[in-house]
Amino acid sequence: MAFRTEACITIACDLCGYVLGEADDGPQHYTTEAAALELALAQGWHRLADGRVVCEDDGHAAALVADAVARFEAASSA
């Protein structure tokens, strides 16, 4: 019997900890962080100005609004 160890990457919401795909067939696994982020964003997740990644949960609206305000203020002061 041969055993093989492989590393995989998952992506989780920085606000609630939900792992992309866990409500479906289980967490989705990726070979790179860039691939995980790309698919999360394509599925409606958001990357905040501070680098956090947030799932599409309706309960995260306040964080998304705060992020939009911060981006607007940064652009206005530039």
For residue 12, the Cα-to-chain-centroid distance in whole angstroms is 6
At residue 8, the pLDDT reads 85
Q: Note the pLDDT of residue 28.
A: 81
Residue 62 φ/ψ, nearest 5 degrees: -60, -40
| Other residues' Cβ atoms within 10 Å of the Cβ of residue 54 | 19
- Tokens 């309960």 locate to 59
Reported pTM: 0.77
Decide: 2 and 25 in contact? Cβ < 8 Å. no
What does the pLDDT look like over 1-48, one tens digit per residue?
888 887 889 999 999 999 998 877 778 888 899 999 999 999 999 999
- Bigger pLDDT: 75 vs 5: 75
Using an 8 Å Cβ cutoff, are 26 and 7 in contact? Answer: no
**For position 19, what pLDDT does the model report?**
93
Residue 4 confidence (pLDDT): 83
